C-alpha cells in the first residue's frame, strides 16, 4: 500500500513537472510581451526547476522595475532554494533599486563582504521586522555596529536577533529551517557575550556563554572565548582547563593555533617559564610541518577549479594518504553553514539537470535550459572549490600570525629565565607541588570532576588546572 502511494505521488509529480516544462515552452514560443521572462520563470519554479528559472528572473529584473506579489513570492522561493545564486548576474546598483526583502538581504550581505558597511546597514534596514529574513539582517546590522564600536546599538540588535530567530524557530515546520534559526539564535547570544568581553565585563560574558548547550554545533568555538574571559579574570588554571579540552578525542577536528598561544600565556602569567616554553616549542613542532604541507598543496593546485572539492568527496583513506591533517581541516570546513548551503545547491542543480534530461519532449528550449544548468553547476563547483581553498589559506595565515606571537613570548620567557639566573633565584621546579584542589577557583555553576587521564563527554569544558603560581607573592594588596 505504501509503495503504491509512493508511485502515485511520483507519477503526479512527473506529470506536474512535464506540464510546467511544457507551459514554459509555450510561453517561450508564443509570448512576446515585456513580462515573458517573468512568466517563464514562474512556470519553471512551479515545476521545481529552480536553477533553470534563475536566468529568466535575472533577465526580467535587468529590464523591469515592477515587482508584483507573484514575482516577490517567486524571488523568495528562489532565495530559499538556491541561496545567493538567485540574483547572481545583477549588479549592486541595479539591485539597490528594488525594495524587496529577499533582494535586500542578498545585497546587504554582498555589500558587507565588500566592507561597504554604511550602505549595507541602510539596505538591510529595508527588511521588515516581521519578515523571515529579519533575524539574519539584525545579526549583520549588529556586526556592523559592533565593528563601529557602537556597542549599545550592537547589543540591542543582537538581542533583537535572538528574539526573532527564537520566534522563527518555534514557528518553522522543517527540521533544517529550525536548525538554521537555532544557529542564528546561538550566534547572536555569543555575539552579546563577545561585546561584554570587549567591554571588559568578563563575569557577565561568562554567564551569557552558559546559555549555549554543550551539544550545540557552536559550543566547541566558545571554549576559546571563555578561556580568554577567564584569562583576563586571572583565573589561569581555568583557562588552561578550557584550552586543554581541545585535546579531547571528541574535538580532534577542531584546532585553534590561538588556543596554544593562550595556554603558553597562562603558564607565563603563572611564572611557570619551563611549562610555557614547552608549549611554545610544541607549537612549532606541531604546526610548522602542517603549514608547509598545506602551502605546498595550495601552490600545486592554485589554478584548479575542482581539486579541493574532490578532496571533500574523497574517502578518508585517500585523504589520509595525502596528508592526515587535511581530513580534519575538511571536517571543520564542512561544518560551516555556507559550505553546506552551497553543497546542497550543487546537489539540487545536478538533480535538476538529471530531471531535464529525463523529459520526454525535447526541444530547443529544454536544450538551452540544459546548457544554462551545466554552466550553473560548473560555477557552483568552482565556488565551493574556492571556498575550501580560502579556508586553508586563512588557516595558514592564522598559523603564521600566531607564530609571531609565540616568537615574542619565547623571547620574553628567555629573558625572564635569564633574570632569574642573574638574581640567583631558585625555582625548585621538581619539588614544587604540581597541582592541588586548593588552587581551583569554583563557582556555584561549575561542576567538579577529578581528571583521571581520560576525557569524558559530559566533563568537557569544565576542566580546570590546580597549579600554584610560581610568581613572587606581592606584599602590597592589589
Partner 1 sequence: MNTKISLHTLVILTALFSSIVLAQDEKKNIVYKYKEYEVIDLGSLEIKGQIMAPGDLTVNERERQTFKRSLLEKQNYDFENKREIENLR
Would you say 411 or 471 has its CB closer to partner 1?
411
Does residue 296 interact with partner 1 by CB under 8 A? Answer: no
Tell me if 337 contacts partner 1 by CB under 8 A.
Answer: yes
Q: What is the 3-state secondary structure (H, E, C) of 174-194?
A: CHHHHHHHHHHHHHHHHHHHH
Count residues near partner 1 (CB under 8 A).
37
Question: Binding string to partner 1 for residues 56 to 75, with x set by CB under 8 A, is what?
Answer: --------------------
Q: How far apart, in whole angstroms, are the C-alpha atoms of residue 240 and residue 275? A: 12
Whether 95 contacts 87, CB under 8 Å: yes
Smallest distance, Å, CB 261 to partner 1?
Answer: 5
Cell of 444: 556555584
CB of 462 to partner 1, least distance (A): 22
Between CA 415 and CA 392 the distance in angstroms is: 35
CB atoms within 10 A of CB 342: 20
Q: Are 270 and 467 in contact (CB under 8 A)?
A: yes
Question: Which of 104, 134, 146, 243 contacts partner 1 by CB under 8 A?
Answer: 146
Exactly one of 254, 268, 463, 465 binds partner 1 (CB under 8 A); which one?
268
259 sits near partner 1 (criterion: CB under 8 A): no
Cβ pair 67, 98 in contact under 8 A: yes
36, 59, 67, 83: residue in contact with partner 1 (rule CB under 8 A): 83
| Residue 409 C-beta: closest distance to partner 1, Å | 6
Residue 238: name the closest of 251, 248, 223 by CA. 223
- How far does the chain reach from its first CA to its final CA, in angstroms? 78
The pattern of x and - marking residues 363 through 402 that bind partner 1 according to CB under 8 A reads: -------------------------------x-------x
Considering only residues 17, 21, 75, 139, which one is a binding residue for partner 1 as defined by CB under 8 A? 139
Nearer to partner 1, 44 or 261 (CB): 261
Nearest residue to 82 via CA among 346, 387, 309, 382: 346
Among 54-62, 140-148, 171-179, 234-242, which window interacts with partner 1 (CB under 8 A)? 140-148
Residue 258 or 459 having the CB closest to partner 1: 258
Of 23 and 83, which CB lies nearer to partner 1 in the complex structure?
A: 83
Site for partner 1 contains 134 (CB under 8 A): no
C-alpha cell at 469: 603560581
CA-closest candidate to residue 367, choices 11, 47, 21? 21
Cell of 380: 557552483
Q: How far apart are CA 350 and CA 139, in angstroms?
A: 32
Q: Which of 1, 4, 113, 473 binds partner 1 (CB under 8 A)?
A: 113
List helix spans (H) across 199-249.
Answer: 202-209, 219-232, 236-244
Contacting partner 1 within 187-216 (CB under 8 A): 187, 191, 194, 197-198
Q: What is the contact surface with partner 1 in residues (CB under 8 A)?
A: 83-84, 106, 109, 112-113, 136, 139-140, 143, 146-147, 187, 191, 194, 197-198, 225, 228, 232, 258, 261-262, 265, 268, 336-339, 341, 394, 402, 405, 408-409, 411-412
Amino acid at each position: 500500500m505504501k509503495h503504491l502511494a509512493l508511485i502515485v505521488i511520483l507519477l503526479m509529480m512527473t506529470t506536474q513537472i512535464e506540464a510546467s516544462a511544457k507551459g514554459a515552452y509555450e510561453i517561450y514560443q508564443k509570448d512576446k510581451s515585456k513580462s515573458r521572462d517573468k512568466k517563464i520563470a514562474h512556470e519553471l519554479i512551479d515545476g521545481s526547476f529552480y536553477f533553470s528559472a534563475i536566468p529568466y528572473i535575472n533577465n526580467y529584473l535587468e529590464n523591469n522595475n515592477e515587482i508584483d506579489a507573484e514575482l516577490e513570492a517567486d524571488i523568495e522561493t528562489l532565495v530559499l532554494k538556491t541561496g545567493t545564486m538567485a540574483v547572481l548576474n545583477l549588479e549592486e546598483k541595479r539591485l539597490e533599486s528594488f525594495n524587496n526583502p529577499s533582494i535586500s538581504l542578498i545585497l546587504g550581505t554582498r555589500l558587507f563582504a565588500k566592507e561597504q558597511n554604511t550602505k549595507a546597514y541602510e539596505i538591510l534596514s529595508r527588511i521588515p521586522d516581521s519578515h523571515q529574513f529579519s533575524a539574519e539582517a539584525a545579526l549583520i546590522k549588529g556586526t556592523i555596529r559592533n565593528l563601529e564600536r557602537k556597542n549599545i546599538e550592537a547589543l540591542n540588535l543582537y538581542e533583537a536577533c535572538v528574539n526573532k530567530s527564537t520566534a522563527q524557530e518555534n514557528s518553522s515546520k522543517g527540521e533544517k529551517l529550525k536548525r538554521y534559526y537555532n544557529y542564528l539564535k546561538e550566534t547572536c547570544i555569543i555575539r552579546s557575550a563577545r561585546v561584554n568581553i570587549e567591554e571588559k565585563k568578563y563575569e557577565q560574558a561568562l554567564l551569557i556563554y552558559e546559555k549555549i548547550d554543550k551539544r550545540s554545533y557552536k559550543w566547541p568555538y566558545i571554549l576559546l572565548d571563555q578561556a580568554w574571559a577567564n584569562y583576563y579574570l586571572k583565573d589561569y588554571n581555568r583557562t588552561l582547563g578550557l584550552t586543554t579540552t581541545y585535546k579531547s578525542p571528541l574535538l580532534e577536528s577542531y584546532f585553534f593555533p590561538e588556543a596554544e598561544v593562550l595556554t603558553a600565556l597562562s603558564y607565563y602569567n603563572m611564572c611557570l617559564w619551563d611549562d610555557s616554553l614547552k608549549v611554545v616549542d610544541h607549537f612549532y613542532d606541531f604546526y610548522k610541518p602542517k603549514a608547509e604541507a598545506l602551502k605546498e598543496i595550495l601552490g600545486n593546485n592554485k589554478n584548479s577549479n575542482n581539486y579541493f572539492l574532490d578532496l571533500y568527496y574523497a574517502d578518508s583513506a585517500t585523504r589520509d594518504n595525502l596528508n592526515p591533517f587535511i581530513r580534519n581541516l575538511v571536517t571543520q570546513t564542512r561544518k560551516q553553514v555556507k559550505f553546506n548551503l552551497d553543497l546542497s545547491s550543487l546537489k539540487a542543480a545536478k538533480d535538476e539537470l538529471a530531471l531535464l534530461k529525463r523529459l520526454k519532449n525535447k526541444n530547443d528550449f529544454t536544450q538551452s535550459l540544459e546548457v544554462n544548468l551545466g554552466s550553473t553547476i560548473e560555477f557552483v563547483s568552482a565556488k565551493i572549490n574556492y571556498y575550501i581553498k580560502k579556508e586553508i589559506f586563512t588557516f595558514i595565515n592564522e598559523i603564521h600570525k600566531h607564530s609571531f606571537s609565540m616568537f615574542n613570548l619565547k623571547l620574553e620567557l628567555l629573558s625572564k629565565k635569564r633574570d632569574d639566573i642573574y638574581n640567583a633565584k631558585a625555582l625548585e621546579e621538581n619539588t614544587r607541588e604540581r597541582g592541588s584542589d586548593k588552587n581551583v577557583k569554583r563557582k556555584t555553576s561549575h561542576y567538579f570532576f577529578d581528571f583521571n587521564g581520560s576525557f569524558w563527554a559530559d566533563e568537557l569544558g569544565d576542566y580546570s588546572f590546580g597549579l600554584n603560581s610560581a610568581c613572587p607573592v606581592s606584599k602590597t594588596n592589589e
